[in-house]
Every structure is written in structure tokens, then in C-alpha cells.
Amino acid sequence: MKFSDEFEIRFAEMVPHYPIKRSALVPTLLYAQDEVGFLSDAVIAEIAERLDLTELEVRNVISYYSMLTTKPRGKFNVQVCTNLSCMVRGGEQILDHCKKRLGVGNKGTTLDGLFSVEEVECIGACSWAPAAQVNYDFHENLTAEKMDRVLEDYRRKATP
Amino acid sequence: MADLVSHPDEVKVVSKRFGRGATNIDRYLELDGYKAVQKALAMQPDAIINEVKNSGLRGRGGAGFSTGMKWSFVPKQSAKPKYVLCNGDESEPGTCKDRLIFEHDPHAVIEGVMIAALAVGALSGYLYIRGEYRYLSIIMQRAIRDAYARGFVGKNIFGSGRNLDIYWHGGAGAYEVGEESALMESLEGKRGIPRIRPPFPAVVGLWGGPTVINNAETLANVPHIILGGAEWYANLGTPKNGGTRLFCLSGNIAKPGVYELPMGYNLKKMLYDVGGGIPNERNLKAVVPGGSSCPCLTANEIDVNMDFDSVAKAGSMLGSGGVVVVDDAQCIVKFALRTMKFYKHESCGWCIPCREGTDWLEKTLTRFHRGGGLKNDIDNMQYLSENMLGRTFCPLGDAAAMPTIAFVKKFRKEFEDHLEGRPCPYEKEGAVDQLPVMT
């Protein structure tokens, strides 16, 4: 299992921050997932070995955190918030719009592997609702038209 | 990234440097940065704690516990290293204030952690930032690096001969990790399951060492208190509720945004003067005054001063400062359902009353909203919620139960209007089909 140099530098820098190696687990998993796309068996085995854990211990942690996934998903994960502040300003309609526009259900991925859609809990954009995150980028004060433009921008980014 | 708003009634303390380029360390120094920590270095630890105690600063994460008091619980002598942990796992629905602090004034949080560490005798501090806030963790990492490069953090800080390390840590999506004991579990690389107390974190915390855990906004206030003095800070607010508060106005309001208002600011004024009232010629139905865990207030109950004690007297909580406004086009049953769906999703399953209670309530509310409600359900929901209160390791069970009890009690008529197979009478398109999603 090979990670990028950037990952290795970050990992080497992070581990000595803690008195116990295991503490680096959660951020390490997230950075590994960002590189590989999901937490594959190979990634889990590698991280378990590096942090002196069993694979089961690592899987146990993965299943707790909602951002961590052991299943592949689209290059761009469209995470639409439908929690209270977003809901009363049309967050559910934005979610439905994304599902229809991309032709997938919740946690589904488009056939070209470009987009996934996910309904998420509060992402901390309440005052700028409705909001969504595409991977780590926030998109706020959304309307269906604005969401279309956002999706189109990502599609363009992916096609050379 | 996120837009800033302003209003003449605002008193800017924590938000003083917002929008002024203070992420840059030189700019931060120009704006009185790192002066407070140098002042604290010359003070006795007890003097720092007393200053914070006298300022009336109370935890901004939601519980509203006296910050100085919390610090004073840390034992002076400890065989194990002591730690300061900054809680930046902001996830309470309706709350988006820590995000702005990290984005605009990251060094203030570092300075707050440093002062807390000096007060309790800790040699390292950790900043826990939720996983979704990746751009903020990048800002924070740069800020920490810059502070190390200047010798403000690390070995021999400011030439004082003392050592103090600051590290960042990232989460990966979990509301419950915002609870202090679950936060420590998560930082230790485990599932974020709460610990039983006692022992309290101030005695046995991170890796078994005494630990002070404060919300990011609380810590960002500390440098201002040290520089401006306890008396000045206390006088900004109301008795026993010192200072100001970042209020996140959201929902059906004309001018949503994060406003820094003095503690004790009137809620009605906040909604109608600061927030510009309810848009689309609608009327106010309910307000959640401090994030989704707080019991809602009806339109008749909003003449309340927004400090911890006054809101508690009104039967709710000031919580995390997330003010969610609900207009009369919304269905309260649906609102209650969405609240419960959240808590069911976030319950870790460790304590049975919370795991089973949130699940049952979500199922009942789902059926209810679709028109399949029974008259008994209304009382059952209240009974079930009341039996969750105080029966869990962490307050997540309470956080799910308290708003539900308030919805049922205060909006019983809306629940009754859903009875006898009627689809939701409050929504034009009828109830949205909320079948469980297979994953």
C-alpha cells in the first residue's frame, strides 16, 4: 500500500503529537480516504499495522464516524444538509433536486463515477442555509438553479 | 467564505478581528495579538483563574458552566501530564459560530488555549476541529506553524523559560464527539462513546491526565478578559452572565447571520430588530433559542433576555447560541420529526434509553406525520421522552427528549390535527415520504 508523499509527511508529523500512537487514527483514516476514495481492505490493513492496532479495532472506529466509508463513492460527494435550519429554508428540495438531476438515490453514485449524493446532518452553515458540501467545499444560500451551476462546475472540472 | 453581517447593537469582542485579516500573524500582532498571553505569563496561575472567574465567563458550548470554576477543579499536583482541549467539534444544529472564529481569528483560539494551559499548569493543548471543517483545519495548522516559527509556542515561549505545545486534531463526522468525554475518546483514536463521571475530566481526562475542556468560543474570549480585565468583561453582560455571545440567527428570518450581542439581549428585539423579522409576510410560530437540544419557545414566549439564567427561567436553555426561527408555514410535527431523526442518527447506542428512545420516537413521529397517528401516541411520546431524561451517560438522550417534550406540550393541537388518517394539514404538498433509506 503506497500513499502520496504529502500523506507520509503529514503522518510522520502527526504521530509524535500524541503520547499514544493510536490517537492519530481518526485524522489518518480521513486523509487516507481522501487519497484512495474510500477505506479499502488494503488501507485498513496498512493503517492498522502502522498504529499497532488490529484491523478489527480500525473497522470498529470507522463504523462510528459518518464521514468514513468502506464503500467506493463518486469523485465528488454532494452532501446536502436537511437539518432544521436548512429544512425550513428548502434543504429537502435541494436534496431532491440533486437526486433527480443526477439520477441517483441517497448515498447513490452516478454511473460515470463522478457524483454521489448524500443527505447529511448539520454541517455548520445554518445562517447561510440551505447549504451543501461537495467534498470539503461549502456551497451556501442554495437554490435549485445555483445547485445546478455548482454541479456543472464540478462536471467541467472533471472533464479535461 | 461565509458572509459576515453587522448590526449597530452588536458589541464586538470575539468578533472584533473578523474580516480584518487576522489569520496573518503579523496582522494579528498589530491588532493586540499575543499581548494577553504575555500578560498571563507574568501572572500567578491562581490570579488568572480568579480573573476568569470574576469575569462571569460561562461555557459557550451549551452547558454554561463557569469557566474559571472549571479550571479551578484541576489539581495543582499531578503525576500525569495535564492537558487543555479546545472543543471545535461544532455540530449542534443551528450553530455556526466556531466556524467564523477559526476562519477569521485562529490565533485568538491558540492564545486562549495557552492562557488556560498557564492557569492549570498544562504543557500541551489540543485543538479538536470537526472533520467537515477541512478548510478551517488548514487555517488552524498554518496559524500553529506561524506561532511556533515566532517562538510564541513550543520551547521557552516568549523567552519565559516555559514550554507549551499546541497541536491540532481532526474529527470525522460525529455529533456526539462534541460531548466532552466522547471528545476525549475520539482524540484517543476510539469510537466517541461517553465515559461515566465521576471521575470528571478535570481529574482524569485525556490519557488519564487532568484535562480542561472548553468550547472554542469560550477560549477565544479568554485573551480579551485578560487584557480588558474581569470587571470590564462582566459589565458587558448581566449579573453572573459576563460578556457577549455569538448568536447564530437562522431559519425563517429576514437577515440570518452570526451577530455578537451582549448577554441578556432581548430575544424579541433580536428577532425583529437585528434579524429583520419574519420574511414573506409570515408570522412567527416558534423559536429554538440555543440549538436543537433546547426546548422551543412559542411566539408568546419570546420576550426573554438571552442569558443563561433568564432563558432557563423561561423553561428552555441558552445552549450553544443557535437561534432557529420557525414561521407559521412550517409543521411542528415535521420539525419534531426532523429533530428526532437527527438524534437517532447521532445516538452512539451505548445507553439503552437513548438508543431505543430515539428510535421509537422517530418511528412514531414518522408514522404520525404521515397520518397514521393514534391519540395515545401523543401522551406516549411525552412519557417516553420524560423517561429518557437523566438516564444516560451523556446528555445526548436529554438533548433528544427535552425538545420533544416541549413540542408535544406546547403544540399539542398540531399533533391532534394529524389524527384520524389526515395527512399533514400544514404542508401544501402533503407529507414528504420519509421511508427509511437502505445503505
Residue B296 burial (10 A CB sphere; 0-12, 13-18, 19+): buried
In the predicted structure, residue B432 carries a pLDDT above the cut 60: no
Q: Of B175, B191, B257, which has the smallest distance from its Cβ to A121's Cβ?
A: B175
SS3 B266: strand
Q: Tell me how far apart the alpha carbons of residues B423 and B259 are, in angstroms, rounded to a whole number.
A: 38
Q: Is residue A109 part of a domain?
A: yes
Quote the crossing angle between the two packed helices A41-50 and A25-36, to the nearest 10°.
150
The H or E element that residue B28 is part of is helix B25-30
Q: Of A19, A30, A107, which has the smallest distance from its Cβ to B170's Cβ?
A: A30
Q: Is residue A48 part of a domain?
A: yes
Map grid coordinates 503522518 to a residue.
Answer: A11
In the predicted structure, residue B435 carries a pLDDT above the cut 60: no
Q: Check residue B433 and give its pLDDT.
A: 42
Does residue A99 share a domain with residue A56?
no
Q: Is residue A71 part of a domain?
A: no
Does residue A148 share a domain with residue A82?
yes
Does residue A83 share a domain with residue A117?
yes
Q: Is residue A47 part of a domain?
A: yes
A95 — pLDDT class (breaks 50, 70, 90) = very high
Across residues A84-94, what is the average pLDDT?
96
Instruction: Pick the residue of A54, A68, A127 with the most B CBs within 10 A to test the interface with B by mutation.
Output: A127
Interface of A with B (CB under 8 A): 17, 19-20, 22-27, 29-30, 51, 60-61, 64-68, 82-85, 87-89, 92, 105-107, 119, 121-129, 133, 136-138, 140
Contact B93 A126 (CB under 8 A): yes
Into how many domains does chain A fold?
2
Q: Residues B255, B60, B215, B48: what is their CA dihedral angle, to the nearest 10 degrees?
A: 130
* All structural domains of chain B with their residue ranges: 14-236, 244-327, 332-416
- Number of residues that this document lists for chain B: 439
Contact B250 A127 (CB under 8 A): yes
Residue A120, domain CATH: 3.40.30.10
* A contacts of B338 (beta carbons < 8 Å): 82-84, 87
Contact B252 A88 (CB under 8 A): yes
Q: Of B188, B192, B207, which has the smallest distance from its Cβ to A64's Cβ?
A: B192
The whole-angstrom distance between residue B357's C-alpha and the CA centroid of its chain comes to 23
* Matching CATH number, B332-416, of 1.10.3720.10, 1.20.1440.230, 2.60.40.1180, 1.10.357.10: 1.20.1440.230
B371 — pLDDT class (breaks 50, 70, 90) = confident
* B contacts of A30 (beta carbons < 8 Å): 131, 170, 172
B132 — pLDDT class (breaks 50, 70, 90) = very high
Contact B437 A119 (CB under 8 A): yes
Encode pLDDT of B218-260 as tens digits.
999 999 999 999 999 999 999 999 999 999 999 999 999 999 9
Q: Is residue A67 part of a domain?
A: no
Q: Of A17, A67, A119, which has the smallest distance from its Cβ to B172's Cβ?
A: A67
B437 — pLDDT class (breaks 50, 70, 90) = very low
Report the gap between the CA of B123 and the closest CA in chain A (Å): 12
* B contacts of A65 (beta carbons < 8 Å): 131, 171-174, 192
* Matching CATH number, B244-327, of 1.10.10.10, 3.10.20.600, 3.20.20.70, 1.10.1280.10: 3.10.20.600
Neighbour tally for B229: CB within 10 Å? 14
For B40-49, letters b (16+ CB in 10 Å) and e give: bbebebeebb
Contacts of B148 (CB under 8 A, 6+ apart): B154
Q: Is residue A141 part of a domain?
A: yes
Does residue A149 share a domain with residue A90?
yes
Does residue A143 share a domain with residue A83?
yes
Q: Per DSSP, which regions of B49-150 are E strands?
A: 83-88, 124-129
Report the gap between the CA of A75 and the closest CA in chain B (Å): 17
SS3 B421: coil
Confirm or reject CATH 2.120.10.30 for domain B14-236, answering yes or no. Answer: no
Instruction: Pick the residue of B18, B90, B96, B187 with the most A CBs within 10 A to test the interface with A by mutation.
Output: B96
B439 — pLDDT class (breaks 50, 70, 90) = very low
Contact A122 B91 (CB under 8 A): yes
Does residue A147 share a domain with residue A94?
yes
Contact B335 A119 (CB under 8 A): no
Average pLDDT, chain B: 94
Listed range (B58-72, B301-315, B363-377, B389-403) with the worst mean pLDDT: B363-377
Enumerate residues 350 to 389 of chain B having a beta carbon within 8 A of any beta carbon in chain A: none
| Full domain range(s) for residue A52 | 5-62
For B343, nearest residue in chain A (alpha carbons)? A121
For B125, nearest residue in chain A (alpha carbons)? A17
Cell of residue B240, nine digits: 453572573
Encode pLDDT of B265-278 as tens digits.
999 999 999 999 99
Q: Check residue B1 and give its pLDDT.
A: 61
B370 — pLDDT class (breaks 50, 70, 90) = confident
Q: Tell me how far apart the alpha carbons of residues A79 and A83 are, in angstroms, rounded to a whole number.
A: 12
Enumerate residues 126 to 155 of chain B having a beta carbon within 8 A of any beta carbon in chain A: 130-135
The answer to whether B90 and B127 are in contact (CB under 8 A) is no
Q: Check residue B228 and give its pLDDT.
A: 97
Across residues A80-98, what is the average pLDDT?
96
Q: Is residue A24 part of a domain?
A: yes
Encode pLDDT of B71-105 as tens digits.
999 999 999 999 999 999 999 999 999 999 999 99
Q: Tell me how far apart the alpha carbons of residues A40 and A38 are, in angstroms, rounded to a whole number.
A: 6
Contact B92 A121 (CB under 8 A): no
Report the gap between the CA of B94 and the closest CA in chain A (Å): 5
Does residue A58 share a domain with residue A80?
no
Across residues B291-303, what is the average pLDDT?
97
Encode pLDDT of B141-180 as tens digits.
999 999 999 999 999 999 999 999 999 999 999 999 999 9
> Backbone phi, then psi, for B208, in 5-degree steps?
85, -5
* A contacts of B207 (beta carbons < 8 Å): 19-20
Q: Check residue A67 and give its pLDDT.
A: 97
Q: Is residue A125 part of a domain?
A: yes
Contact B189 A127 (CB under 8 A): no
Does residue A145 share a domain with residue A81?
yes
Contact A26 B133 (CB under 8 A): no
Sheet with A137-139, edge to edge strand ranges: A115-120, A76-81, A132-134, A137-139
Cell of residue B205, nine digits: 481526562
Q: Is the Cα dihedral A67, A70, A71, A75 positive or negative?
A: positive
Average pLDDT, chain A: 96
Nearest to B177 by CA among B355, B394, B323: B394
Q: Check residue B30 and give its pLDDT.
A: 97
Encode pLDDT of B346-356 as tens digits.
999 999 999 99
